[in-house]
Amino acid sequence: MRRGAKGSGIIGWILSGLVIGGIGFIAFSPKFEREDPKLILSHSGYWNFKDPIQVKVEDASGLKSFKATLFTPHDDWVVVDENTPSTADKKTFTVLPPKGVRSVESESVTLTIEATDNSLWGMFMGNTLKEELTLVIDQRRPVLSIIANSYKIQKGGSAIVIFKATDPHLQTLKIETNYGKTFMAQPFMKEGYYASLLAWPVQSENFSATVVARDSAGNETRGSVPLRLKDHVYRTSNIELSDAFLDGKIAELANEYEQTAGVDDRLEQFRIINEKVRADNEKIIHKVTSKVSSKMVVDFNPAPFYPLANGQKVADFGDHRIYSYKGQENISQAYHMGLDLASVHNGPIKSSNGGKVVFSQPNGIYGNLPIVDHGFGLYTLYGHCSEVHVQEHDAVAAEQEIAKTGLSGYAMGDHLHFGILVQGIEVRPEEWMDTKWIADNITGVIESAKQYINQR
């Protein structure tokens, strides 16, 4: 009797252990995970009933089945129905309209998604997620029209385009170029109208610009800006490096810049300063000058820029400089992206137009460098200054003295390196120093557009 009781007790403990172990296995085994599948959808609440909707499903145990159904008040279509189990923890499905159906009469559709994972939870049925999403159907492309633009653009130069773009669900407006730069347009005068300056870089052999309007549903309209292209041949200068230059200015700069730390070879110091330091400095400049306001602009009428009284040109914009040393050709190359002007020692530098100081610091080879934002994506910079009289965030008035010429940075003589940029792209300063050019290519185009808009 006692043996039977003892045996029963052991069996009971064993059974209890099995039950507890089974419960623990179910509770902690990945095969019995209890999390519903998670969905990530590429949508904005609008659909053009054309572009695919990407649905990503994530689940630790993989996916057993996936189903996507479209519903309207009058129809329903199963557009995806996959029942092939997968152990992958992530899977992407493409939802498209049913074959042969290009439009629907209703203003919206309901997308229902059902996903079941491979878990053994729920009596081996798995975890199931069902989600409904209402999508507004919009199959109309934005309305886009070019109102006015500069007649031509010169290599290394600037132009302007003014256009109208309307759509009840307008999402993005941009101006794409053939060389990868995207210009952002600024609201102009009235709702639905936009304007932007454009720039053709010296290093790009060709130029094209296309206005792109896209709405929340993915409908897109593109309009080419009809600009006549005018080539401009920039100087190529072959420069022989001297020992005095390498032992003097280069050695001096090499002691200042972290990029040349530990480098003793004079030619390598020069290469680093002329290429790496220059690129780092210009990266800062391009970032600072790439911004354009989203506020509406009602006018833009800059005076010609002439920052240095009686300044004489000592170096050209766009000059392609190729360096050699004692028979070693093409030691290094660089483009000179400003206009060098010289007058008197520590000559006063003025901002010809009002604006806001967005940068005022030493910047490598550019030396002491103030940069002024004149609005509409137009910036001016003033390199090699001996003194700077303005700080970042300062407002400057037209004809205000902001600095003095000097020798700071990579400068061999007292002068001003004057640069003009359009949304981060260096352009020919000579254009913006020319009253007639500004009138013909910028302000005249603006006036023509204003007359057209005011009649609407």
Residues 356, 372 contacting (CB under 8 angstroms): yes
Residues 175, 127, single domain; the answer is no
> 155 falls in which pLDDT band (50, 70, 90)?
very high
Mean of pLDDT values over 218-224: 97
Residue-level pLDDT at 9: 66
Q: In the predicted model, is pLDDT for residue 29 greater than 80? A: no
Mean pLDDT of the residues in the chain:
92
Is position 2 within any domain? no
> 1 falls in which pLDDT band (50, 70, 90)?
very low
Is position 440 within any domain? no
pLDDT tens readout for residues 295-305: 999 999 999 99
pLDDT tens readout for residues 330-355: 999 999 999 999 999 999 999 999 99
Q: What CATH number is given to the structural domain containing 421?
A: 2.70.70.10
Residue-level pLDDT at 124: 76
- Residue in 413, 393, 418 with CA at minimum distance from that of residue 403: 418
For 236, how many CA atoms within 13 A lie in the half-sphere containing its CB?
A: 5
Residue-level pLDDT at 145: 97
Residues 118, 158, single domain; the answer is no
Is position 100 within any domain? yes
Bigger pLDDT: 15 or 139?
Answer: 139
Please identify which residue in the block is written with the tokens 């050209």: 316
> What domain range includes position 183?
143-231
Residue-level pLDDT at 15: 54
Residues 261, 345, single domain; the answer is yes
> 22 falls in which pLDDT band (50, 70, 90)?
very low
Residue-level pLDDT at 5: 57
Quote the CA–CA distance of 79 and 97 in Å, as a whole number: 7
**Cβ count near 28 (within 10 Å):** 9
Quick one: how far is CA 375 from the chain centroid?
19
**High-pLDDT (> 70) share of the chain, %:** 93
Residue-level pLDDT at 44: 79
Q: In the predicted model, is pLDDT for residue 35 greater than 80? A: yes
Please identify which residue in the block is written with the tokens 């901002």: 351
Residues 72, 116, single domain; the answer is yes
Q: In the predicted model, is pLDDT for residue 325 greater than 90? A: yes
Residues 269, 363, single domain; the answer is yes
Domain boundary among 182, 198, 231: 231
Phi, psi torsion values for 188, nearest 5 degrees: -135, 115
Residues 251, 292, single domain; the answer is yes
Give the N- to C-terminal CA distance of the chain in Å, as an integer: 108
For 280, residues 6+ apart whose C-beta sits below 8 A from its C-beta are 259, 364
Is position 446 within any domain? no
Please identify which residue in the block is written with the tokens 């000179």: 336
Is position 1 within any domain? no
For every residue of 335-404, DSSP letters joined together read EE-SEEEE-STT-EEEESS-EEEEEEEE-GGG-EEEEEE-STTEEEEEESBSEE---TT-EE-TTEEEEE
> 23 falls in which pLDDT band (50, 70, 90)?
very low
**High-pLDDT (> 90) share of the chain, %:** 84
Residues 216, 294, single domain; the answer is no
The answer to which of 118-122, 228-232, 287-291, 319-323 has the lowest mean pLDDT is 118-122
- Residue in 148, 149, 202, 156 with CA at minimum distance from that of residue 431: 156
Residues 290, 399, single domain; the answer is yes
Quote the CA–CA distance of 177 and 179 in Å, as a whole number: 5
Q: What CATH number is given to the structural domain containing 98?
A: 2.60.40.1940
Quote the CA–CA distance of 108 and 4 in Å, as a whole number: 74
Is position 435 within any domain? no
- Residue in 279, 278, 254 with CA at minimum distance from that of residue 267: 254
Range from 58-62, 117-121, 218-222 that averages highest in pLDDT: 218-222
Residues 265, 413, single domain; the answer is yes
Residue-level pLDDT at 14: 54
Domain boundary among 205, 231, 257: 231
Domain boundary among 137, 169, 188: 137
Residues 129, 105, single domain; the answer is yes
Quote the CA–CA distance of 414 and 308 in Å, as a whole number: 12
Residues 197, 163, single domain; the answer is yes
Q: In the predicted model, is pLDDT for residue 244 greater than 80? A: yes
Residue-level pLDDT at 309: 94
> 25 falls in which pLDDT band (50, 70, 90)?
very low
Quote the CA–CA distance of 192 and 179 in Å, as a whole number: 27
Total domains, the chain: 3
Is position 445 within any domain? no
User: Which helix (H) or strand (E) is 254 found in, with range?
Assistant: helix 251-254
pLDDT tens readout for residues 397-455: 999 999 999 999 999 999 999 999 999 999 999 999 999 999 999 999 999 999 999 99
Residues 316, 235 contacting (CB under 8 angstroms): yes
Residue-level pLDDT at 28: 46
Residue-level pLDDT at 320: 97
Quote the CA–CA distance of 142 and 224 in Å, as a whole number: 15
Mean of pLDDT values over 18-46: 68
- CA triplet 191, 194, 195: central angle to 5 degrees? 150
Is position 5 within any domain? no
Residues 298, 364, single domain; the answer is yes
Q: What CATH number is given to the structural domain containing 161?
A: 2.60.40.10
